[in-house]
Structure 1
Amino acid sequence: MLLEKILRNRLEQKKILLMTHIVLGYPSFATNRQVIAQMVDNGVDCIEMQIPFSEPMADGPVILKANQDSLALGTTVADCMAFGAEMSRLHDIPFLFMTYYNIIFKYGEERFFRDCLSAGVKGLIIPDLPPEMGEAFFQLATQFQVAPILIFAPTSTDERMAKLNNSAAGFIYCAARRGVTGKKSEFDDDFNAYLARCRAATSLPIAVGFGIRNHNDVAAITGKADMAVIGSETIRLVEEQGAEAVGPFIKGLR
């Protein structure tokens, strides 16, 4: 799919790519615009935009609060689609949507994919939808050329990784550890062995997320992964120092 091609082209110029995560509508769409501009101007290669959901089971307290606050402000899926289309027009990097399956089910699967295509969104991360539960979803992903990005975890067996890889496109998201987002991860021998299993299980680029916080973390996975994913840390930064702090932080990651 197109997303994989874009990422591989970028990998020809960089040792490791950066993907960031924002929660749409938090603290506002105006701030989202500022943060994305800072991210793109300072070298981010891909941005994961989360459509807020009331029970984001894979997310830690920072992103959970951002989801709840965004929903309290009245953020809708239609708002997120319009914003995604705006960002895709303004910035020459791939944008993804991340959300949970209930959002897509209520919106209507085909309508959701059709609107993603219209918005220029290149991929979807849906943590609570395994391949065996989403036959129509994965058919629509192929039809509309919106890459379904699936997640490997340290608890995934080799057999499970193979099954996930058969349904995935774009890249594989490798969770650095068990649990939810936001906690510090340790990049030790166990992690290296896990990442080697991930690499062996797929020919797609691999991204590592969950606990990537700083330059040292990115350096620790450079040469082992193709992309580092930074999520909770940028949300904390915006809360504590404002959108203008994001640019220097991103610039210092590589």
Structure 2
Amino acid sequence: MDLAIELKNRLHTKPILLMTHLVLGYPSLRINREVIAQMAANGVDCIELQIPFSEPIADGPVILKANQQSLKNGISVEDCFRFGQEMATAFPTVRFLFMTYYNIVFKYGEEAFLRRTKEIGFCGTIIPDLPPEEGASSLAVSEALGLAPIQFFTPTSTNERMREVAGLARGFIYCVARRGVTGEQTTLDDSLTAYLARCRQATDLPLAVGFGISRREDVAMLRGKADMAVIGTATIQLVDSQGADAVGPFIAGLLD
């Protein structure tokens, strides 16, 4: 089923959806497996699995450290594909996407990377350093394969730019909640509300909001303004401080 249609169908029974983020291989694939199981059991709709890269320019210090440690541990792109296939098979109610940077895709071979992503049961890709103007071939291959190449809105996007990007997007739009990198707390105020209203006017695709979303109060504030809340850094910090077993109650508490 088309990802956008599936997400809209889920919204018939949920006030807002959840997408979570993990860096593959950090702290280990074994821990990743435990965390994903808890996320799936507590109703997470989408999970973006990050293939580590040495210079993750959109990510803050927590995710940067996770990328570097995973690479130091020896994680490979092939490891990520094999693990991703295992997860997609084990948790069919979750929609999985790969998040990574274009250097990884380019080195693997763009068409080969996207075909493999589709073959293992993933529904899309998130490549934050590939603007649509430079991604025509990736967009074309994704369209042919039925993969969703997730595109971004930012607070500095003009209304015209949003409409242009939306015309190339599939699945959902990732609305960056603020300027900067991941991990810093986002202030959920009237300016964010106005920005999300502009996002809504630009597309009928579901809106996912990320960057600094970490608490139940954040998710509650997004209800009625967006369709999916993205939780990234907060989960990694939780696993670091309290272990994988803390993830299930944390996720469940976001929607209380």
Class of the TM-score when normalised by the shorter of the 2 chains: over 0.9
**What is the number of equivalent residue pairs in this alignment?**
254
Identical columns (%): 63
Letter in 1 for 2:103: N
Match of 2:102 in 1: 101
Letter in 2 for 1:193: A
Offset of residue 77 of structure 1 = 0.9
In the TM superposition, structure 1's runs of 4+ consecutive aligned residues that sit over 4 Å from their partners are: none
Determine the C-alpha separation between the residues in 1 that align with 2:134 and 2:59. 21
Match of 1:224 in 2: 225
Determine the C-alpha separation between the residues in 2 that align with 1:95 and 1:141. 15
Determine the C-alpha separation between the residues in 1 that align with 2:118 and 2:43. 25
Determine the C-alpha separation between the residues in 1 that align with 2:169 and 2:214. 26
Determine the C-alpha separation between the residues in 1 that align with 2:237 and 2:226. 25
Letter in 2 for 1:30: R
Match of 1:46 in 2: 46
Q: Residues 192-211 of structure 1: matches in 2 within 5 Å?
A: 192-211=193-212
Match of 1:148 in 2: 149
Q: Secondary structure at the match of 1:112?
A: helix
1:4 and 2:4 equivalent?
yes
Offset of residue 12 of structure 1 = 1.1
Determine the C-alpha separation between the residues in 1 that align with 2:228 and 2:245. 24
Write the deviation string for residues 145-201 of structure 1: whole angstroms up to 9, x where unpaired: 110001100011111111111111000000110000001111111111100000001
Q: Residues 1-254 of structure 1: matches in 2 within 5 Å?
A: 2-91=2-91, 92-254=93-255
Offset of residue 5 of structure 1 = 2.0
Determine the C-alpha separation between the residues in 2 that align with 1:8 and 1:84. 24
Write the deviation string for residues 88-119 of structure 1: whole angstroms up to 9, x where unpaired: 10002100000000100000011101101111
CA RMSD across the alignment: 0.8
TM-score (norm: length of structure 2): 0.98
Letter in 2 for 1:148: P
Write the deviation string for residues 188-244 of structure 1: whole angstroms up to 9, x where unpaired: 111111000000011100010001111000011111100000000000000000000
Q: Secondary structure at the match of 1:44?
A: coil
Letter in 2 for 1:9: N
**Structure 2 unaligned residues grouped into runs of 5+:** none
TM-score (norm: length of structure 1): 0.99
Q: Secondary structure at the match of 2:48?
A: strand
**Structure 1 unaligned residues grouped into runs of 5+:** none
Q: Secondary structure at the match of 1:20?
A: strand
Determine the C-alpha separation between the residues in 2 that align with 1:113 and 1:11. 28
Letter in 2 for 1:107: Y
Offset of residue 9 of structure 1 = 1.7
Q: Secondary structure at the match of 1:117?
A: helix
Determine the C-alpha separation between the residues in 1 that align with 2:114 and 2:80. 13
Q: Secondary structure at the match of 2:118?
A: helix
Write the deviation string for residues 11-70 of structure 1: whole angstroms up to 9, x where unpaired: 111000010000001100000000000001011111010000000010000000000000
Q: Secondary structure at the match of 1:252?
A: helix
Determine the C-alpha separation between the residues in 2 that align with 1:249 and 1:84. 23
Letter in 2 for 1:104: V
Determine the C-alpha separation between the residues in 2 that align with 1:2 and 1:49. 20
